[in-house]
Structure 1
Amino acid sequence: MSPTFEDLGLHKGVLSALDQVGYTAPTEIQADGIPPMLDGRDMVAQAPTGTGKTAAFGCLLAHETTPEEGTQALVLTPTRELARQVADEIESLCQVRGQRVLTIYGGVGYKPQIDGLERGSEIVVGTPGRIRDLIERGDFDASTCETVVLDEADRMLDMGFIEDVSWIVDHTRRDRQSLLFSATIPPGVEHLADEFCHQPANLAVGDTTKDEDRPEYLVRVGKRNRAWALERILETEQPDLAFVFCRTRHRTEKIAGLLDGHGYNAEPIQGGMSQNARERVMGRVREGDVDILVGTNVLARGIDVRRCELVVNYQPPRDPEDYIHRVGRTARMQDVGAAYTIATDEDTRAIVEIEGHTGASLTEIDVPETSQDDKITKIDDWEEKADPMGRVHFRIRGVTDSSRMDVFWYLVDNAGVSQADLGQVAEEDDGLIVKVRHDAAGRLQDHLHKNGVLGRDVDVSIATPE
């Protein structure tokens, strides 16, 4: 039988707070991780997004720290958004016992954070850069910290924070309890765990690759029709909140603006925004005023929103590990959700790498049909009509008495296409098949319709590649 929170030995004030927050039963990482943490053991836990890891170490901190006795615990996170959300969750677990939680991060003024430290906060949650800065300035004494938590350690490694993290940890108590949480455990995180933890309990919970309860679809289109496919997916799924992932900040802003202009409540969120702007967006999300968040990978790892029902990769990520974190934003903790990846022929390698990394094939489907009129119009995209070699096949009738080479050289000399653009010209029973690169297909079609071939009007159609 699964344990209850009461079975785990938590303080009655923490149990009361869990009840008020709405937690009914421990998740796997909470059931398996809280007991050894309460015993004082160090821990290295591999846990993907959505497993309840924040509440796991949050329960420990709410249980172990004592109100009005100074700073006793430090939690390091890679991003400002994550620091705020981790602090909010820990604060909710401390609401009965009364410990104070202070959030510290860059991009805002020092004074409120220094004032918070001077007033006293039992638990400090922050990003490595600002935490180190305050220690160096003498405004934060980390030597009183009895428990140190590294959250999203792999993300901190990716962002180049490990040197700062090691420096900060060296300024905490030597007999501290050390807890490391990470969605993945690459060699750099293993090295950090060896340096940070002493004879830790090791946990790996959940599936860090594919969630069988979360359908993961692949939709192939031409690159000019990604937005059309995105709109069809949104209209089909009708999510209360969707995350749309792009590769660049510029694309994030562009797609959010496009969706907003077509009647969706869409907002961009990416690392280049000011802290105030990002907090404004997240405030709107929490109020339910945003239907779609469009972001870069900061959206996959930097924020905590529980009710996301749909993830769409507008562009597949270049790193397969980022795919896992992106789709892990939906179907969290037994919620429903689906993930779609929109891909063009140029994305074939990325899809192969994702499937190889996750060990599962994405379910390839056509762009969904909807009963509504399209808000975003489909563009005539030659790439969608091309064969696997990227060539469009034109069927030309009315020149059967001309040689294939005459037609070939006529098109090179007159139709705005080069020898490299054209493939072979093949004979059919009632005409010719001309193969042309998809990026030159529009020029060729325009010429054929306006001027024909060799002074003759011709019938032109698109042939299905064999």
Structure 2
Amino acid sequence: MNYLQATPIQQQAIPIILSGKDLIASAQTGTGKTAAYLIPILDKISREPSNHTSALILVPTRELAKQIDEQIEGFSYFIKATSIAIYGGGKGEDWDQQRKALVKGADIIIATPGRLMAHMNSGEVKFDNLKCLILDEADKMLDMGFSDDILFVLKHLPQNRQNLMFSATMPKKIRDFADKILKNPEEIRLAVSKPAVGIDQQFYLASDEQKLPLLIHLMKNTVAESVIIFTSQKAMIDKVVRMLNRNKFEAKGISSDNSQEDREESLRGFKNKQFKILVATDVLSRGIDINNLNLVINIDVPRDAEDYIHRIGRTARAETTGTAFTFINEKDQYRIANIEKLLEREVEKQNITESLGLGKAPEYKASQSRKPYRKPTGKKKFFNKKGVDNKKPAVS
């Protein structure tokens, strides 16, 4: 698989995992975190064959579950190790196949928390002999509201097990969650929340009406083998795809609204270079590894600064280079300030729409770079002099 030299995260994590200790590890996206835990786990499985599930990997998205399953297939080519990805919704043919694998016991199970919990509720799934639990992209799982599902799964695992937590960012909520799960863990922190140095980050001021014409201009003047265009709005995907197709750029869209079959077909076609441009929501911002992806475009600024790091981290992976364009409208300017804080530098905001005949772009204002005030909602509280919340007094 052309792994010739271990990356820093692999150099540090593999010996710890082989020793059996718990681990919390964070490193830049695209630095080889998945191989850092898969290689030592497969080594253990090859030395101690079992008829039961040895390792459980929890991930936030079905795309990441499928990709890890494919990586296991490659890494375990010369050893006898079985794995299956557990994801999806509803009870069809996939459900029965997944249930049989869970009951019989594949060596490694990769699962999204909600789907795994649904199987466990049947009472047939047992993890009595599990040796290792891995939480991959742990911060994203918490962001997506999976904390209760994860804690449910944990209650059904043996107490005596190894726990590994991997993340590209290390916010306080991850540390608090780690305290509930990990036992005297070793810790690895490598350049957390920083994009790879090989990414050329460019920011463009543009109103919502100017974004698509600006996108077409940049696409016509940029040489790129593969491109992912991110948007926070699922409704924008079809608009972007139609505009690109009208301008002779072959593109397809992918979001959580698509069926699992359609999502897998689109992602497979993109990876196989059947088409050049994939338009997606943040469902593709975590962990997805695509060879020779050299351009990421953010139609809008991500809601969280750390999501920006993950989005642009799809390019310049494994010490390559890439480019990231981000469009800034007036209402998203406060989010740029958060990104600058994370990058620890001010970014240049380019204004080229007027020169392209698209009219003036929104002016970047320092006052707009603070989060706008939002009127509180819900019932009004009344406090007495001691600060105790009282009910609203009756009106006579």
TM-score band, normalised by the shorter chain? 0.7 to 0.9
Corresponding letter in the other structure for 1:265: E
TM-score by length of 1: 0.73
Q: Is the aligned partner of 1:322 residue 2:307?
A: yes
Query: What residue is the counterpart of 2:88 in the other structure?
Result: 106
Query: What residue is the counterpart of 2:28 in the other structure?
Result: 48
Deviation at 1:236, TM superposition (A): 2.6
Counterpart CA distance in 2 for 1:339 and 1:33 is: 30
Contact conserved, 1:72 with 1:144, CA < 8 A, in 2? yes
Equivalent residue runs for 1:14-29 within 5 Å: 21-29=1-9
Equivalent residue runs for 1:59-208 within 5 Å: 59-65=39-45, 66-107=48-89, 109=92, 110-208=95-193
Which of 275, 295, 301 is the matching residue for 2:286?
301
Q: Is the aligned partner of 1:35 residue 2:15?
A: yes
Counterpart CA distance in 2 for 1:144 and 1:260 is: 52
Equivalent residue runs for 1:52-451 within 5 Å: 52-65=32-45, 66-107=48-89, 109=92, 110-301=95-286, 303-367=288-352, 380-381=358-359, 383-384=360-361
Quickly say closer, same or farther: Cα 1:50–1:210, change in 2 above 3 A: closer
Counterpart CA distance in 2 for 1:64 and 1:210 is: 33
For the aligned residues, what is the CA RMSD? 2.3
Counterpart CA distance in 1 for 2:365 and 2:63 is: 43
Q: Residue by residue, what CA displacement relative to the aligned partner does 1:77-102 show, whole Å, maximum 9, x if unpaired?
A: 01111111111112211111120011
Counterpart CA distance in 2 for 1:287 and 1:159 is: 29
Give secondary structure in 2 for the equivalent of 1:384.
coil
Structure 1, 202-211 or 86-95: larger mean CA deviation: 202-211
Q: Residue by residue, what CA displacement relative to the aligned partner does 1:213-236 show, whole Å, maximum 9, x if unpaired?
A: 211111223432211221222223
Structure 2: give runs of 5+ residues left out of the alignment.
367-396
Give secondary structure in 1 for the equivalent of 2:266.
helix
Counterpart CA distance in 1 for 2:87 and 2:365 is: 49
Contact conserved, 1:107 with 1:274, CA < 8 A, in 2? no
Counterpart CA distance in 1 for 2:291 and 2:353 is: 26
Contact conserved, 1:104 with 1:125, CA < 8 A, in 2? yes
Corresponding letter in the other structure for 1:168: V
Counterpart CA distance in 2 for 1:346 and 1:301 is: 25
Deviation at 1:387, TM superposition (A): 10
Q: Residue by residue, what CA displacement relative to the aligned partner does 1:1-43 show, whole Å, maximum 9, x if unpaired?
A: xxxxxxxxxxxxxxxxxxxx11111011101110011011110
Contact conserved, 2:54 with 2:131, CA < 8 A, in 1? yes
Structure 1: give runs of 5+ residues left out of the alignment.
1-20, 371-377, 390-466
Quickly say closer, same or farther: Cα 1:386–1:181, change in 2 above 3 A: closer
The percent identity for this pair of structures is 32
Contact conserved, 2:89 with 2:115, CA < 8 A, in 1? no
Q: Residue by residue, what CA displacement relative to the aligned partner does 1:390-439 show, whole Å, maximum 9, x if unpaired?
A: xxxxxxxxxxxxxxxxxxxxxxxxxxxxxxxxxxxxxxxxxxxxxxxxxx
Structure ID, larger Rg: 1
Quickly say closer, same or farther: Cα 1:388–1:150, change in 2 above 3 A: closer
Deviation at 1:125, TM superposition (A): 0.6
Structure 1, 74-83 or 232-241: larger mean CA deviation: 232-241
Query: What residue is the counterpart of 2:380 in the other structure?
Result: none
Counterpart CA distance in 1 for 2:197 and 2:268 is: 32
Corresponding letter in the other structure for 1:352: A
Corresponding letter in the other structure for 1:35: P
Give secondary structure in 1 for the equivalent of 2:121.
helix
Quickly say closer, same or farther: Cα 1:231–1:178, change in 2 above 3 A: same
Query: What residue is the counterpart of 1:401 in the other structure?
Result: none
Aligned pair count?
361
Corresponding letter in the other structure for 1:145: L
Contact conserved, 2:252 with 2:266, CA < 8 A, in 1? yes
Quickly say closer, same or farther: Cα 1:63–1:388, change in 2 above 3 A: closer
Contact conserved, 1:68 with 1:99, CA < 8 A, in 2? no
Deviation at 1:269, TM superposition (A): 1.2
Counterpart CA distance in 1 for 2:84 and 2:146 is: 21
TM-score by length of 2: 0.85
Counterpart CA distance in 2 for 1:100 and 1:173 is: 21
Q: Residue by residue, what CA displacement relative to the aligned partner does 1:117-143 show, whole Å, maximum 9, x if unpaired?
A: 344411111111111121221232122
Counterpart CA distance in 2 for 1:90 and 1:207 is: 26
Quickly say closer, same or farther: Cα 1:228–1:236, change in 2 above 3 A: same
